[in-house]
């Protein structure tokens, strides 16, 4: 763990009395204190769970919201099965593969695929991000418009390599990886999230092992999302690549997906 991650302090806040009990439960689950000076706060309020950097000049809070905002806009106007991510995982007429997103993060890509009809399993190893994701999914399940999509998403918290090595269920047809690297997307939203999460997450230095393990488990293909100009993950070379403006998908095919 880097010095930066050791130095970041975090507390749990309740934003209203009706959330006090649930906030205490989150604090207990995540090993957080409920008061005192801190660099960051995990806060529970009417809008759900959010992570906030404290102090002057800090960006606003980050939460997982599958009902409104950017994710909702992408669900409604994002291009459906014509999106590059859909092509990368093999969505086609009559084919909606089962997908394991082994680096779930805030769940945006997994939600896009679930909205297209894919049964999704999400793995997130950072407990703080997994908590935001769990809260976002719970709120989505209570919303009439997106409940059916959220029902296609199952969340696991833990080390993806270990969970894939010990996999007991039917193997996912597709495994999707989007490892965290220093040279990530420079958009304002991602910059804000990176600033918040970097002290707790760091980079995925085990990406080669993650890819190798995914290739062992997936029945049909592994898909790796990368910054467009970044090198491929060390190890076996991708079979083919789909390239966009800022990112690309390295595809490692094993077997054809058929209706």
Q: How far apart are CA 123 and CA 139, in angstroms?
A: 19
Tokens at residue 73, please?
């806009």
Q: Let me know: does 173 contact 99? Beta carbons within 8 Å.
A: yes
Tokens at residue 30, please?
């995540």
Tokens at residue 152, please?
């296609």
Rg (CA), the chain: 18
Residue whose structure tokens are 């393990």:
213
Question: Is 204 marked as a binding-site residue?
Answer: no
Question: Is 143 marked as a binding-site residue?
Answer: no
Q: Let me know: does 218 contact 169? Beta carbons within 8 Å.
A: no
Pair type for strands 174-177 and 221-227: parallel
Question: Is 124 marked as a binding-site residue?
Answer: yes
Identify the helix (H) or strand (E) that includes residue 166.
none
Q: What is the DSSP string of 123-152?
A: EE-SHHHHHHHHHHHHHHHTSTTTHHHHTT
Q: How far apart are CA 93 and CA 96, in angstroms?
A: 8
Q: Let me know: does 146 contact 64? Beta carbons within 8 Å.
A: no
- Nearest Cα residue to 124 out of 106, 150, 151: 106
Identify the helix (H) or strand (E) that includes residue 160.
helix 160-165
Binding site residue list: 108-109, 124-125, 178
Binding site residue list for S-adenosyl-L-methionine: 108-109, 124-125, 178
């Amino acid at each position: 763990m880097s010095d930066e991650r050791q130095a970041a302090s975090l507390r749990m806040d309740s934003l209203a009395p009706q959330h006090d009990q649930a906030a205490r439960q989150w604090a207990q689950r995540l090993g957080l204190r409920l008061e005192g000076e801190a660099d960051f706060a995990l806060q529970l309020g009417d809008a759900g769970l959010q992570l906030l950097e404290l102090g002057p000049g800090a960006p606003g809070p980050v939460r997982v919201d599958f009902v409104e905002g950017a994710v909702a806009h992408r669900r409604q106007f994002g291009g459906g099965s014509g999106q590059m991510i859909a092509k990368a995982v093999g969505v086609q007429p009559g084919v909606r593969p089962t997908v394991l997103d082994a680096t779930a993060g805030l769940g945006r890509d997994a939600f896009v695929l679930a909205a297209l009809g894919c049964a999704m399993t999400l793995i997130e190893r950072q407990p703080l991000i997994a908590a935001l994701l769990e809260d976002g999914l719970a709120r989505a399940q209570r919303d009439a418009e997106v409940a059916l999509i959220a029902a296609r998403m199952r969340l696991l918290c833990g080390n993806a390599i270990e969970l894939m090595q010990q996999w007991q269920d039917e193997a996912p047809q597709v495994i999707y990886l989007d490892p965290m690297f220093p040279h990530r997307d420079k958009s304002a939203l991602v910059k804000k999230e990176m600033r918040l999460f970097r002290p707790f997450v760091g980079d995925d230095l085990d990406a080669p092992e993650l890819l190798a393990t995914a290739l062992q488990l997936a029945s049909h293909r592994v898909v790796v999302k990368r910054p467009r100009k970044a090198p491929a993950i060390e190890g076996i070379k991708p079979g083919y690549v789909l390239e966009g403006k800022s990112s690309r998908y390295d595809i490692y095919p094993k077997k054809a997906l058929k209706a």
